[in-house]
Structure 1
Amino acid sequence: MRHKKLSRRFSRTSSHRQAMMRNLAISLIEHEIIKTTVEKGKELRRFLEPLITKSKNDTLHSRRTVLSKLNSNSAVSKLFGDIGPRFSETNGGYLRVIKAGFREGDKADICYIELTNRPDPEQLDSSDSEVVAEESN
């Protein structure tokens, strides 16, 4: 029976699952939106939201704790420098899972997982075009 099992296994060994979650988390921190399966996205949310909560309090101990989970200095520095302060007033619910249909090859459920307060790409595009216009003058 499957009662009270804590996490999904994904038909992988524990070290493979840990590496997969670590890689997905680093990609999400760097790009702020990624495309993956719904099951992996939901499990990634369980893995990453406590790390974002720790990043709101920038102490040496919390940095080392997060670094032990992620093993990426660049991801930790972005998490503590950019993402953590953005969520300083928010208690939980940092990630959003948006279903996006099915994958072509095997019809697996696909979703986008993103940070909830990610800047709109339209705002970024308009500011980038203004900068390019100023540089050309």
Structure 2
Amino acid sequence: SSLIKTIRIDPEDKTSPKVAGRITTTLPKAKELRPYVEKIITLAKKGVVAEEAARPLGTTAARNTAEWKAWRDSDKWQKWNAAIAPAVNARRKAFSLLRDKDALEILFTDVAKRFETRNGGYLRIVRLPKVRLGDAGQLAFVEFVGTHDRVKTRRAPAPVVVPAAESSDAPAE
């Protein structure tokens, strides 16, 4: 949950991370963390899709009003309930793994929307050239992809070489 919570940085908080979406840890911990976080992000993406599918079936009426009670007694509520069930299940599974409401909210609002078109590979592990003091553990960054990616620059096209035209004073055959 600490990696997910680094997405939102409070500039006035002195303990907030310097770079959003990045933590520093040891290399073995980073390798253990990657599949865990990627499964949670995939779960959140599925939950967001289910929420979007259930949105048209819902109602905008305030709870316990006559309009809301009529919707609740109708067939639309049954359809909405069936459509929203996978989203609720995804949120409950994610909460059971994260155990943090703030991280869960960030996961479903920011992270899932950010990676909605990506099919995996949400994290990058970058080895650092230094070791931790005390036990010489190899350090690494764990960060979300897409924010600090290198921009691929296009090369300038190669100049077109035009063959020199034969001079006009050469004898014609």
Q: Percent identity?
A: 38
TM-score normalised over the length of structure 1: 0.66
Structure 2 residue runs of 5 or longer lacking an equivalent are: 7-20, 49-86, 150-173
CA distance in 2, matches of 1:63, 1:119: 28
Residues 1:46 and 2:35 are matched in the alignment: yes
Aligned equivalents of 2:94, 2:147: Cα separation in 1: 21
Matched position secondary structure for 1:42: helix
Structure with the higher helix share, 1 or 2: 1
Question: Letter of the aligned partner of 1:87 in structure 2?
Answer: F
Query: Which of the two has higher C-alpha Rg?
Result: 2
2:92 maps to what in 1?
64
State the Cα distance separating 1:119 from its structure 2 match.
Answer: 6.2
CA offsets, 1:83-103, max 9 Å, x none?
011000001100000001211
Q: Would you identify which runs of 4 or more consecutive aligned residues in structure 1 move more than 2 Å?
A: none
Equivalent pairs counted in the alignment come to: 95
Structure 2 length normalisation: TM-score?
A: 0.53
The offset of 1:118, in angstroms, is 3.0
What is the CA-CA distance between 1:106 and the residue it aligns to? 1.8
Residue equivalent to 1:134: none
Matches within 5 A, 1:74-113: 74-100=102-128, 101-113=130-142
CA distance in 2, matches of 1:27, 1:70: 9
Report deviation, 1:50.
0.4
> Quick one: which amino acid aligns to residue 103 of structure 2?
A
Instruction: Please tell me the root mean square deviation across aligned C-alpha atoms, in Å.
Output: 1.3
Aligned to 1:3: none
Corresponding residue SS for 1:56: helix
